[in-house]
């Protein structure tokens, strides 16, 4: 598969997973009045499934076994989340920049790193 198409697919799956996360988060909080933490964890788990399956089957068209690939993908997702938190802490809280600057720093570092790890190690 051509590299640029794979990157485009990676972006589409990432956006879809983000929209699923946001939609479920809103539904669980607004309609079911779940606590934010529980709603966020629940939404993350569903979005993780969308992201993993989308990348496994469509982005990378992988034949890697699900047990090993899903475990690696979960580890990568957790590290990406921790990097997100650390970058936002540094840029916004410590350095005092606007949160959108922090968000841009996250967008230009975490997804590209996740793509490389996914391509070379997971799938």
- Mean pLDDT for all residues in the chain: 95
What tokens does 83 get?
């990097």
HSE of 59, CA atoms in CB hemisphere, 13 A: 24
pLDDT score for 3: 85
Helical ranges in 1-123 per DSSP H: 3-26, 36-54, 66-88, 99-107, 110-117
pLDDT score of 2 = 82
pLDDT digits (tens, 9 = 90+) for 12-47: 999 999 999 999 999 999 999 999 999 999 999 999
Q: What is the pLDDT along the chain (123 residues), one digit of tens a residue?
A: 688 899 999 999 999 999 999 999 999 999 999 999 999 999 999 999 999 999 999 999 999 999 999 999 999 999 999 999 999 999 999 999 999 999 999 999 999 999 999 999 999
């Amino acid at each position: 598969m051509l590299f640029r198409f794979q990157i485009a697919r990676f972006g589409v799956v990432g956006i879809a997973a983000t929209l699923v996360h946001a939609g479920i988060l809103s539904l669980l909080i607004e309609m079911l009045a779940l606590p934010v933490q529980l709603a966020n964890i629940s939404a993350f788990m569903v979005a993780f499934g969308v992201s993993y399956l989308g990348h496994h089957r469509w982005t990378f068209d992988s034949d890697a076994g699900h047990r090993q690939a899903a475990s690696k993908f979960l580890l990568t997702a957790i590290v990406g989340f921790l990097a997100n938190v650390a970058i936002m802490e540094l840029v916004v809280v410590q350095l005092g920049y606007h949160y959108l600057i922090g968000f841009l720093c996250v967008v230009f570092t975490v997804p590209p790193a996740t793509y490389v790890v996914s391509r070379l190690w997971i799938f």
